[in-house]
Chains A and B, each alone.
Chain A
Amino acid sequence: MEPMILDMLLKAGLGLIILGMVLNIAGLLTWVERKQSALMQDRIGANRAAIFGFTALGLLHGIADAVKMFTKEDCMPKGAHRFIFNLAPAISVAFAMAAFAAIPFGNTLTLFSRTINLQVAELDAALLFVLAAMSIAVYGVILAGFSSNSNYAVLGGMRAASQMLSYEMSMGLSILGLVLLNDTMNLQEMVRAQGGTWLGFIPRWGVFTQPLAFLVFTTAVLAETKRAPFDLPEGESEIIGYFVEYSGMKFGMFLLTDFIETVLAACLVSVFFFGGWQIPGLHATGFHFPWGTTIPLPPLAVSLLGVAAMMTKVVFFNWLFMALRWTLPRFRYDQLMHLGWKILLPASIANVLVTAAWVAWRG
């Protein structure tokens, strides 16, 4: 009985740490978004919010935003469905965060002769869980659009619904190849299967086994985050989108969902295609270089290095997604549908078929 309670407490603690980390990264992303776009466009970026004259490079703008959103008037349009209207942002943000439970942030960590798996929920069907959570998060968007009693919001909700439908299909299919190859749906196992190297220097990462799936998945998951170039549900320049009637912190929740989903997308891409917490050449006992040198490391250091590697990859992909978001113009709606149904979907199906044939031939 005793160890079980301890285990539960450990998992709860881990969950809290990951939740805090994700929320902090999402908050920091508001700063990254401002500053990165500014540097890309030869500007300085937000730098005025200050406490006692300290601006901290504009970092305080995130706090100023939060204060503003919490103190703003919370309005609801006449004729809106009160219950669903209030529920929608909560669904969005809650399920986007729930998906992190299945993400492995590191290998097992051994502390005081106790082995902790650095994945909150050790689900065998973690992959399905993540996909399901992301899909339910979309419900928040659609419900927000339909419950607002506003034509613009309905348009945004409809756009979101059709966009998500077209892209989730290719997203699920593109991952199927990896499932076939690695013979598992557990994300932790999937990361473990990506350890080791070919010829001593090419890491066995998913991006090398499934390059097409990588492209399809990255595109689809970017569409899932609803940010440019796939920001049609938001359509800031013409319909404002599904959250047009929201104000205050309820709007803030939708904004937060966007950033959380960006982090989630970065996590998923690193886990599926870039070996999660794997560092090429790092084994359970330390570094083994192809030319024979070894640097022995204690297990604790190996685990922590793994977590650091995962974080580095997540930060890199967040940077990349931001760069994409500020580089590419928005798709036209027919181009979006064309890309989803006529390019990504056939590509992912072909990918699955080829992979299946290869797996069957290999036996």
Chain B
Amino acid sequence: MAANVKVLKRRELTWWENTFLPSIYAGLVITSRHFFGNLAIHISHVFGLRKKERGSTTYQYPEEKRPLAHRYRTRHRLMKRDSGETRCVACMLCETICPAHCIAIVAKEHPDPDIEKMPASFDIDLGKCVYCGFCVEVCPEDAIRMDTGRLDIAAYSRGGMILNFDHLMNPELPVLDPAKPVAR
């Protein structure tokens, strides 16, 4: 028994369609509609009208930032206790789970006997980070988060991409910092 096959014939183009003229016309209508629509919006903006509409779907980056989704993963930061010191207890869970091996923590004793340890240094190499967010998920102390909303991560060298403890505690510090020593 033959399988139940439904043959779909491709429609042959008619003579008129083969001249491409109808499609060219349709294409021109679409692009011209965008052109004149956007032109009208831009001209209205000059006269202070139709301020709510945008003439483009792009963002003029340095002046205008793209609104980020609530859960968008961006540059890391370390959370603080009420006393202002870090919540991190240097348990190394984030360093262990990090698939890019880009976290390097050195632990030390915490002066408060109730708290086991604290990081002596905490470096994240953003040049290697894949922004998977595993470090945030795994942290038992909710000490690390990726909610700073900062995307302007740039440096002149690979070493410059490393966030140290200071950067993590102060998310407003720029990565591209001339004062920051360039590690080689």
A328 touches B27 (CB 8 A): yes
B58 touches A324 (CB 8 A): no
Contacts of A42 in B (CB 8 A): 34, 38, 55-58
Nearest residue, chain B, Cβ from A343: B19
Q: How far is the CA of A44 from the CA of B21 in the complex (A)?
A: 30
A327 touches B34 (CB 8 A): no
User: How far apart are B35's CB and chain A's nearest CB, in angstroms?
Assistant: 5
B34 touches A40 (CB 8 A): yes
Q: Interface residues of A toward B: which range?
A: 10 to 19
Q: How far is the CA of A323 from the CA of B31 in the complex (A)?
A: 7
B38 touches A39 (CB 8 A): yes
Nearest residue, chain A, Cβ from B34: A40
**Does B182 count as interface, using CB distance less than 8 angstroms?**
no
Partner of A323, one of B19, B21, B32: B32
**Does B28 count as interface, using CB distance less than 8 angstroms?**
yes
B39 touches A324 (CB 8 A): no
Q: How far is the CA of A44 from the CA of B61 in the complex (A)?
A: 12
A39 touches B58 (CB 8 A): no
| B side interface size, CB within 8 A | 18
Q: How far is the CA of A41 from the CA of B55 in the complex (A)?
A: 10
Q: How far is the CA of A159 from the CA of B31 in the complex (A)?
A: 29
Q: How far is the CA of A42 from the CA of B36 in the complex (A)?
A: 11
A44 touches B31 (CB 8 A): no
Q: How far is the CA of A43 from the CA of B55 in the complex (A)?
A: 8
Contacts of B39 in A (CB 8 A): 39
Given contacts A36-B35, A39-B39, contact A44 B58 (CB under 8 A): yes
A323 touches B35 (CB 8 A): yes
B34 touches A41 (CB 8 A): yes
Q: State the main secondary structure of chain A at its contact with B.
A: helix
**Does A326 count as interface, using CB distance less than 8 angstroms?**
yes
Q: How far is the CA of A40 from the CA of B37 in the complex (A)?
A: 9
Nearest residue, chain A, Cβ from B57: A42
Given contacts A327-B28, A328-B24, contact A43 B58 (CB under 8 A): yes
User: How far apart are A47's CB and chain B's nearest CB, in angstroms?
Assistant: 8
Contacts of B58 in A (CB 8 A): 42-44
Contacts of B19 in A (CB 8 A): 343
A39 touches B35 (CB 8 A): yes
Partner of A326, one of B21, B31, B42, B57: B31
Contacts of A44 in B (CB 8 A): 55-56, 58, 60
Contacts of A343 in B (CB 8 A): 19
Q: How far is the CA of A42 from the CA of B30 in the complex (A)?
A: 12
Q: How far is the CA of A324 from the CA of B32 in the complex (A)?
A: 10
Contacts of A43 in B (CB 8 A): 56-58
Contacts of B30 in A (CB 8 A): 327
| Chain B 39-89 interface residues, beta-carbon cutoff 8 Å to A | 39, 42, 55-58, 60
User: How far apart are A323's CB and chain B's nearest CB, in angstroms?
Assistant: 6
Could you mark each residue 27-41 of chain A with 1 if its beta carbon is under 8 Å from any beta carbon of chain B, else 0? 000000000101111
Contacts of B28 in A (CB 8 A): 323-324, 327
Contacts of B21 in A (CB 8 A): 215
Nearest residue, chain A, Cβ from B23: A328
User: How far apart are B15's CB and chain A's nearest CB, in angstroms?
Assistant: 11
Contacts of A323 in B (CB 8 A): 28, 31-32, 35
Nearest residue, chain B, Cβ from A329: B27
Contacts of B32 in A (CB 8 A): 40, 323
Q: How far is the CA of A328 from the CA of B27 in the complex (A)?
A: 7
Could you mark each residue 307-335 of chain A with 1 if its beta carbon is under 8 Å from any beta carbon of chain B, else 0? 00000000000000001101110000000
Q: How far is the CA of A40 from the CA of B60 in the complex (A)?
A: 17
Contacts of B38 in A (CB 8 A): 39-40, 42
A39 touches B60 (CB 8 A): no
| Chain A 13-72 interface residues, beta-carbon cutoff 8 Å to B | 36, 38-44
Contacts of A39 in B (CB 8 A): 34-35, 38-39, 42, 55
Q: How far is the CA of A341 from the CA of B24 in the complex (A)?
A: 20
* A-B contact list, 17 entries, CB within 8 Å: A38-B56, A39-B34, A39-B55, A40-B32, A40-B38, A42-B56, A43-B58, A44-B58, A44-B60, A215-B21, A323-B28, A324-B24, A324-B28, A326-B31, A327-B24, A327-B28, A343-B19
Q: Which 9 A-B pairs have the closest CB atoms?
A: A327-B27, A39-B38, A42-B57, A327-B31, A40-B31, A40-B35, A39-B35, A44-B56, A43-B58
